[in-house]
Amino acid sequence: MYAIVRAGGRQEKVSVGDVLIIDKVNDKPGESIQLQPLLLVDGSTVTSDAAKLAQVKVTAEVVKATKGPKITIMKYKNKTGYRKRQGHRQPTTQIQVTAIEA
């Protein structure tokens, strides 16, 4: 059984035990969060009806807060000597899916 869930503005395919990296959430490690299901596949049964999906619960546990890869921003203007270098690491959260209850 797997589900397609909305996690941080993106859609992710999850099953029980999967570890995901999503946009930052303000929960502490060990806390449980609910993910919104968009599609549920159980064997040959595919559920996409909104009324039936409202009864489905996808639960995940926050593992830890992480950071994404470093990106480098370089600004440069020709003939003036202007150079500016800047870096950025997006804050993310690592979660583990614990249950899909249909």
- Interatomic CA distance for residues 95 and 74, integer angstroms: 33
Query: One-letter amino acid identity for 81?
Result: G
pLDDT recorded at residue 9: 84
Rg (CA), the chain: 19
| pTM (predicted TM-score) | 0.83
Going from the C-alpha of 41 to that of each of 23, 55, 64, 97, 98, the distances in angstroms are 25, 14, 28, 16, 17
Output the tens digit of pLDDT for each of the chain's 102 residues.
999 999 978 999 999 999 999 999 999 999 999 999 999 998 888 999 899 999 999 999 999 999 999 999 999 999 999 999 999 999 999 999 999 998
DSSP class of residue 44?
Answer: T
pLDDT recorded at residue 56: 93
pLDDT recorded at residue 43: 86
